Amino acid sequence: MSSPPPHHEPARLDVLGIVGVGLIGGSIAAAARQRGLTQRIIGVGRTLSRLETARSQGLIDHATNSIRDLADATCVIVCTPVDRLADDIREVACIVGADTLITDVGSVKSSIVRTVMADTEAASRSEKSGFEHASPTLFDGRVCVVTPAETTPPELVERAEALWSGIGMTTRRMSPDRHDRVLAVTSHLPHLAAAAVASLPTDEELEFAASGFRDTTRIAAGDARLWQAIFSSNREHMLAATDELIDLLQRFSAAIRNDNADALIDLLDRARQHRELFSRLRQAGRENDGE
Amino acid sequence: MSSPPPHHEPARLDVLGIVGVGLIGGSIAAAARQRGLTQRIIGVGRTLSRLETARSQGLIDHATNSIRDLADATCVIVCTPVDRLADDIREVACIVGADTLITDVGSVKSSIVRTVMADTEAASRSEKSGFEHASPTLFDGRVCVVTPAETTPPELVERAEALWSGIGMTTRRMSPDRHDRVLAVTSHLPHLAAAAVASLPTDEELEFAASGFRDTTRIAAGDARLWQAIFSSNREHMLAATDELIDLLQRFSAAIRNDNADALIDLLDRARQHRELFSRLRQAGRENDGE
């Protein structure tokens, strides 16, 4: 599934364009600047007053509404919501030079790759929003999945990997389809399940919910429009993963109905073991990163 | 569903017996002592060496293996796992005087009430274990549901309420059946869903799981035997709640399959609103408690 990343040449980011200067885009800007990867950062967004604030805080050097201002960019990172990504990437591609690297931080890949085809993609995730939360260390030690299409030139893939490792991430290569399956079961389906669990209690019953409910449903507080777009973009994998979840719930239910304590313990123990493996993997990731 | 609690006479806990001195039992002991509710605490457990440690730390005054040592207790709180509660409560009832209050901290009520019938029950929850984590403030501002059977003498119900409000909790009365439904949708089903979500990714896919997965599945790390007992004790409500969760997941799935963005946003928005109401209720609870 993954292999050790090759040694990357330092990223060439003389002029870095960031489309969508929120938490992710702002953190990329902060990390690139702190690590001395870039001479100049151009921030593109819809609300110029907010972009000007980001500029006055030193996060970006130039604030603009217009993607045309990216004509001289060495690299453009598109950080807009997943349902706008493909259009924004195409628009950028019409403006920049042929050797400009265009990449993005969407968490659904296949549908975007099918649309823009020649571009290189990369993934990152978080739930807070706004450049006010931006941090140059947001990506430290996190895994970035680079998902080249079959037609993506190898040189562009390597430049994308150099970019993400340049801001502190560990990179992995994966096909767009495999990436979307992985994101479905590790991120998108947990969100859907959290939303369903949060919806079940009545208002009166919610008074009695405690810390287990709090944690299991935390991500259900996320923006509905954003997650609708993610689910819809990752349609086939979400349908398959939801079916798998329902099958598993039915196995739990059958074990309870049949008073089959052994089967129920087996199901719960398998969950516990997976959860503990996840904790160990995260711990190992942090240690490798020197945290 | 709930009404303002009546003014309670101070709890009479001259000799307080605690069966099962773990996180919950130990915290009750610590809270009762700190608030000066009791003269003497008798701790009953299976592992005498651990009880002696609790005694040497001042958490209890007397450590014993034998429920018979509770003969003079004014009040006995049974804090053993849910599948042992009914037996332990019956054993205590054979030993103590007729005016001794027997209560427990199990989180499934109906099956216990059906078994012991004349006893008063109360609920509390947490996921850490062992008296080493015990804290006199564990219950501050938390809701304790008192679940009298129809045959429970009102005086015993009031003494139970005085006990729990005496250690800092807010009390609510509820029928055992209603209590079990509430716990199914706010606690037990979230646990089952977290376990199912934690089980879905393969070991390789787990490497790519992030903070959303971490929170949604946190409680799936809990003890399998303990949760099997809780699910089995709350069988009917768990089966109903699991069916409701599956129905809801199928509605999400249909909205994704049919590319029905509006339906998907409605489902996600309803979840978000519930989650926000939960946060507001918790915030209000903490503020009422002076936190």
Q: Does A243 touch chain B (CB under 8 A)?
A: yes
* B32: β partners: none
Nearest to A119 by CA among A144, A84, A92, A83: A92
Averaged pLDDT score across all residues of chain B? 85
* B44: β partners: B19, B64
Mean pLDDT of B136-143: 79
Backbone angles phi, psi at B54, to 5 degrees: -60, -40
Q: Chain A, 24-63: which have a CB under 8 Å from a chain B CB?
A: none
- CA of A136 to nearest chain B CA: how many angstroms apart? 18
Locus of tokens 């999945």: A145
* In the predicted structure, residue A110 carries a pLDDT above the cut 60: no
Domain that holds residue A20: 15-174
Nearest to A175 by CA among A89, A102, A109: A109
Q: Is residue B9 part of a domain?
A: no
CA distances from A51 to A10, A46, A128, A258 (A): 28, 8, 18, 60
**Domain co-membership, B46 together with B168:** yes
> B192 or B155, which is more confident?
B192
Task: Retrieve residue A37's tokens.
Answer: 């990867």
**Domain co-membership, A60 together with A134:** yes
* In the predicted structure, residue A150 carries a pLDDT above the cut 90: no
**Domain co-membership, B160 together with B187:** no
Distance CA B154, CA B46 (A): 33
Mean pLDDT of B34-60: 94
Mean pLDDT of B221-230: 90
**Domain co-membership, A238 together with A149:** no
**Domain co-membership, B168 together with B183:** no
* In the predicted structure, residue B110 carries a pLDDT above the cut 60: no
Nearest to B20 by CA among B151, B140, B131: B131
Contact B61, B42 (CB under 8 A): yes
* In the predicted structure, residue A143 carries a pLDDT above the cut 60: yes
- Is ipTM beyond 0.85? no
Task: Retrieve residue A102's tokens.
Answer: 């265009």
Cβ neighbours for B114, distance < 8 A, ≥ 6 positions apart: none
Across A87-91, B98-102, B111-115, least confident range: B111-115
pLDDT at residue number B126 = 34
| Total domains in the fold of chain A | 2
Where residue A66 falls (left for φ over 0; alpha for ψ -120 to 50; beta otherwise) is: beta
Distance CA A283, CA B9 (A): 50
| Contacts B261 to A, Cβ<8 Å | 228, 232
Task: Retrieve residue B74's tokens.
Answer: 């004014």
Mean pLDDT of A121-139: 60
Buried b (16+ CB within 10 A) or exposed e, B137-154: ebbbbbbbbbbbbeebee
* In the predicted structure, residue B77 carries a pLDDT above the cut 70: yes
Domain of residue B188, CATH code: 1.10.3660.10
Q: Chain B, 196-215: which have a CB under 8 Å from a chain A CB?
A: 196-201, 203-215
**Domain co-membership, B55 together with B34:** yes
Q: A111 pLDDT band (50/70/90 cuts)?
A: very low
Q: Is residue B263 part of a domain?
A: no
Q: What does A230-268 look like in DSSP terms, one character per residue?
A: HHHHTHHHHHHHHHHHHHHHHHHHHHHHTT-HHHHHHHH
Give the DSSP H or E segment for B273.
helix B261-288
pLDDT at residue number B136 = 86
Across B88-102, B128-142, B146-160, least confident range: B128-142
Domain endpoint, select from A174, A203, A236: A174
Locus of tokens 């978000």: B272
Q: Which of B186, B196, B245 sits opposite A208 (nearest CB)?
A: B186
Q: Is residue B188 part of a domain?
A: yes
Q: B107 pLDDT band (50/70/90 cuts)?
A: low
% of chain A at pLDDT higher than 70: 86
Distance of CA B187 to the CA centre of its chain: 9
**Domain co-membership, A60 together with A129:** yes
Q: Is residue A49 part of a domain?
A: yes
Q: Is residue A123 part of a domain?
A: yes
**Domain co-membership, A190 together with A140:** no
pLDDT at residue number B83 = 82
Distance CA A129, CA A45 (A): 14
Locus of tokens 């399998």: B224
Write the single-letter amino acid at A71.
Answer: A
Q: Which of B186, B212, B215 sits opposite A201 (nearest CB)?
A: B186
Mean pLDDT of A153-166: 86
Buried b (16+ CB within 10 A) or exposed e, A31-42: bbbeeebbebbb
DSSP B105: -
Q: Which of A182, A231, A271 sits opposite B264 (nearest CB)?
A: A231
Distance CA A126, CA B42 (A): 50
**Domain co-membership, A105 together with A202:** no
Mean pLDDT of B178-188: 92
Domain endpoint, select from A174, A198, A220: A174
**Domain co-membership, A32 together with A94:** yes
Mean pLDDT of A190-199: 97
Give the 3-state secondary structure of residue B44: strand
Q: What is the pLDDT of residues A220-247, one digit of tens each?
A: 998 899 899 999 989 999 999 999 999 9
Across B91-100, B120-129, B211-220, least confident range: B120-129
Mean pLDDT of B14-34: 92
Mean pLDDT of A197-205: 96
Domain of residue B121, CATH code: 3.40.50.720
- Count the Cβ atoms, other than its own, within 10 Å of residue B232: 19
**Domain co-membership, B136 together with B151:** yes
Distance CA A23, CA A59 (A): 11
Q: What does B135-168 look like in DSSP terms, one character per residue?
A: -TTTTTT-EEEE---TTS-HHHHHHHHHHHHHTT
Query: Which chain A residue is nearest to residue B127, measuring alpha carbons?
Result: A212
Return the percent helix, strand and coil in chain B, to nearest 5.
55, 10, 35
Write the single-letter amino acid at B41.
Answer: I
Taking an 8 Å cut-off on Cβ atoms, the answer to whether B200 and A257 are in contact is no
**Domain co-membership, B169 together with B235:** no
Distance of CA A184 to the CA centre of its chain: 12
Taking an 8 Å cut-off on Cβ atoms, the answer to whether B186 and A205 are in contact is yes
- CA of B283 to nearest chain A CA: how many angstroms apart? 11
Locus of tokens 């130990």: B26
The listed range with the strongest mean pLDDT (A118-122, B81-85, B113-117, B247-251) is: B247-251
| Contacts A107 to B, Cβ<8 Å | none
Domain endpoint, select from A174, A190, A205: A174
Q: Chain A, 125-154: which have a CB under 8 Å from a chain B CB?
A: 125-127, 142-143, 145
Give the 3-state secondary structure of residue B252: helix
